Structure 1
Amino acid sequence: MMQPDAAARIFVNPRPQTFETPTQTGLSDFHRKLPLYAPTPLVSAPYVAAVLGVRQVWVKDESSRLGLPAYKILGAAWATYKELETRFGPFQPWETLSELRGQLPPVTLVAATDGNHGRAVARMAHWLELGAQILVPSDMAAARQNAIRSEGADVEVVDGSYDQAVSAAAKLADDTHLVISDTAWEGYQRVPAWVIAGYGTIFGEIDQQLAALGAGQPSAVAAQMGVGSLAAAVIQHYRAAESTHVLGVEPTQADCVLRSLEAGQLTEVAGPHRSIMAGLNCGNTSPLAWPLLQGGLSASVAVPDARAEDAMRLLAASGVVSGESGAAGLAGFLELLSGRHPAAAAALSLTQDSSLLIISTEGATDPETYRRIVG
């Protein structure tokens, strides 16, 4: 039985910090060598801007990235490559994946996932002709499980939540099984750090696209928060200056970041986590992302599923196909600018002249649910 949503909740950081943007040597060149690389569209959404009461809304549409319906491949591919290089390199210079494949031992990539990250790891394993073992929670939609299997991966359904799948995946690590996780735990931070770094390609593209349009940097960016890796990448890029605020967004049924911010320390949200925003159904924040989230978020909002559904329909009206988790960033702005949180909106300096950036992180990864909500 589906749990009813709690009311939306907001936490405001009165003094958000700035952070230095780290340099990742070779990141852009690496992604350009992958099959089907092309910058994803940056869409102007004037109808969404009118609904929100701001001057401009930009949507970075990640519904098709390197042949997959989500952005996750950027982090998963970079982290996989860097971990392989660390364990088995240095590699000879390569220009094609076939040249890289010839330098790799027969290992298996392991990941736990709510959907998109696991499929991305499986795709990287397919490209490199490696094994893939993907662990998923028991409530994952069949369409998402089948999509992972379509990449040639072995899918193991864990009797429990995403967090339990993470624990099970961690136990599989050995000399021939490389765990490629986007969340960290004690003694395991190198790979998740590379996942965060890999997402930097998104923001480099956005900078170039805005510059080509003669547009300035956004006033505020909304970032989906599951374990917090994407939000950490957003903060590293946009909180290099004080002029751009970052709004973190998560479901009311899995609001581990917001509760951690309120408590001033990492706080678990016990499952089951049954939001339709399946990619954000996480009970624990990554300890690697936590310092960035605690310091760099201007505000954090937990939104009910109804907000995500409204956001999906608004994005569809603007020509962007966005799944339940993909639309969560807009859901956060819809809540923040609903008129019920004037102090929080003021804390982000949002006015009628503001420009907002939304990262639509996935397409219709569960087509049946998408049709039910959007029609």
Structure 2
Amino acid sequence: MTTQTDQPRFYFNPAVQTFAAAVEPEVLEFHRKLPGYLPTPLVRAPRLAEALNVAEAWVKDEASRLGLPAYKILGASWATYRELDTRFGPFRPWQSLAELAAQLSPHRPLTLVAATDGNHGRAVARTARWLGLAAHILVPEDMVRARIQAIEEEGAQVQIVRGSYDDAVEASARLADAAHLVISDTAWDGYTRVPGWVIAGYSTIFQEIDAQLAQQGARPPHLVAAQMGVGSLAAAVVGHYRTPARQTQVAGVEPTRADCVLRSLEAGRPTEVPGPHTSMMAGLNCGNTSPLAWPLLQGGLSASMAIPDERAEQAMRLLAQDGVTSGESGAAGAGGLLELLAGSQAQASRRTLGITPQSTVLVISTEGATDPAAYARIVPTS
């Protein structure tokens, strides 16, 4: 049986790999057609840089993305579009979502189905609403009411599943049929197409970052932190930064009580961490690594760490000082770097990764204050 602990844990890859770059410019072109598209801010974070003892720290602030408080809409919308196009297309050229939705009329009723810890399900529900489709979102029984209500306000049916996020994933898979399309950000046996498109959808984040750094005359980061739930975002980070031309270091971050990626790396194979997963970093409370993401994580992560909730809380307060409103999961990347570069094993970690006071780091704040009550408790206003 897996033993859980609140002590931070680390894994360093002795043979980190690079991967062929897979650029999909049509993803960004698609997102530019969505209502309210704008690149999210790339924020220089001097307080975080000082805490990490590096020259510069950049934060990609995803607190407001296409009208939602998290980045997940990028993957959910692209994966939904590609799945619909595969099943019912090819679509004729379109410029607005109304034009796209009209092409789906002969195929209704259609329902988009997803399991979620919060943000992905809300993004799927928003995509369904844009396209005039129904949404059925399954959530674990410990999800806070504020996140459930946000999904319901998108017009979705919310089903509370007894058990963990992983139980909700299994329940969602059973609903798949000709009229119910499962839009999951994790893969399983026989189901990889949609999660692959979710990962591809996140590439818009990194295309924006590249352009924003170039506009400011700033150098690319030496180290990027990536939150890990099932591993889809981290796989996207690896896919963008671990190329022969870049060879940027990537560090994965997850909660100590849901550290399925770290334990998988230690074991050399995907390893489950049974629930309950009780971290406040709710979006990362996952007991299984996506098998689609696994090869990229195993080969491309220079480091992996599991952090206690206290590190995420510290990061939330620190990011607020730099003008970034970051929720519990959103701040996990910064919390991981605080543990890695300024914690009890910082000297050895910095030496292993080649991080010096002249280095530049990047974190992705993946969500805003999606649980307002928790944010108000953790980040004082005065």
Normalised-by-shorter TM-score class: over 0.9
Q: How far, CA to CA, are the matches of 1:206 and 1:191 in structure 2?
A: 25
Q: How far, CA to CA, are the matches of 1:278 and 1:28 in structure 2?
A: 28
- Matched with 2:262 is 258
- Matched with 1:124 is 127
- Matched with 1:153 is 156
The yes-or-no answer on 1:368 pairing with 2:373 is: yes
Give ranges in structure 2 of 5+ residues lacking alignment.
none
Q: How far, CA to CA, are the matches of 1:339 and 1:276 in structure 2?
A: 21
Q: How far, CA to CA, are the matches of 1:173 and 1:16 in structure 2?
A: 37
- Matched with 1:351 is 356
- Matched with 1:60 is 60
Q: Secondary structure at the match of 1:132?
A: strand
Deviations 1:9-66 (A, max 9, x none): 0000022100112132521111000000000000001111011110000000000000
Deviation of the 1:340 alpha carbon: 2.0
Q: Secondary structure at the match of 1:92?
A: coil
Q: Which of 295, 314, 320 lines up with 2:318 in the alignment?
A: 314
- Matched with 2:49 is 49
Deviation of the 1:4 alpha carbon: 8.9
- Matched with 1:217 is 220
Does the CA contact (< 8 Å) of 1:134 and 1:155 recur in 2? yes
Does the CA contact (< 8 Å) of 1:251 and 1:303 recur in 2? yes
- Matched with 1:93 is 93
Q: Which of 253, 274, 277 lines up with 1:273 in the alignment?
A: 277
Q: How far, CA to CA, are the matches of 1:49 and 1:29 in structure 2?
A: 33
Q: How far, CA to CA, are the matches of 1:195 and 1:345 in structure 2?
A: 32
Does the CA contact (< 8 Å) of 1:112 and 1:169 recur in 2? yes
Q: How far, CA to CA, are the matches of 1:317 and 1:48 in structure 2?
A: 9
Deviation of the 1:338 alpha carbon: 2.2
Counterparts of residues 3-18 of structure 1 (less than 5 Å): 6-18=6-18
Deviation of the 1:243 alpha carbon: 3.7
Q: How far, CA to CA, are the matches of 1:178 and 1:271 in structure 2?
A: 27
> What TM-score does the superposition give when structure 1 sets the normalisation length?
0.98
Q: Which of 293, 298, 302 lines up with 1:298 in the alignment?
A: 302
Where in structure 1 do 4 or more consecutive aligned residues deviate above 6 Å?
none
Does the CA contact (< 8 Å) of 2:51 and 2:342 recur in 1? no
Does the CA contact (< 8 Å) of 1:61 and 1:361 recur in 2? yes
Q: How far, CA to CA, are the matches of 2:303 and 2:63 in structure 1?
A: 26
Deviation of the 1:5 alpha carbon: 5.3
1:141 partner letter: V
1:182 partner letter: D
Counterparts of residues 158-169 of structure 1 (less than 5 Å): 158-169=161-172
2:233 partner letter: L
Q: Which of 96, 109, 113 lines up with 2:112 in the alignment?
A: 109
Does the CA contact (< 8 Å) of 2:4 and 2:256 recur in 1? no
Q: Secondary structure at the match of 1:26?
A: helix
Deviation of the 1:337 alpha carbon: 1.3
Counterparts of residues 242-253 of structure 1 (less than 5 Å): 243-253=247-257
Structure 1 residues 103 and 37, CA gap change in structure 2 (3 angstroms):
same
- Matched with 1:336 is 340
The alignment's C-alpha RMSD in Å is: 1.1
Deviations 1:189-234 (A, max 9, x none): 0000000000000000000000000011100000000000000000
2:331 partner letter: A
Identity %: 67
Give ranges in structure 1 of 5+ residues lacking alignment.
none
Q: How far, CA to CA, are the matches of 2:322 and 2:212 in structure 1?
A: 18
Q: Which of 283, 288, 310 lines up with 1:284 in the alignment?
A: 288
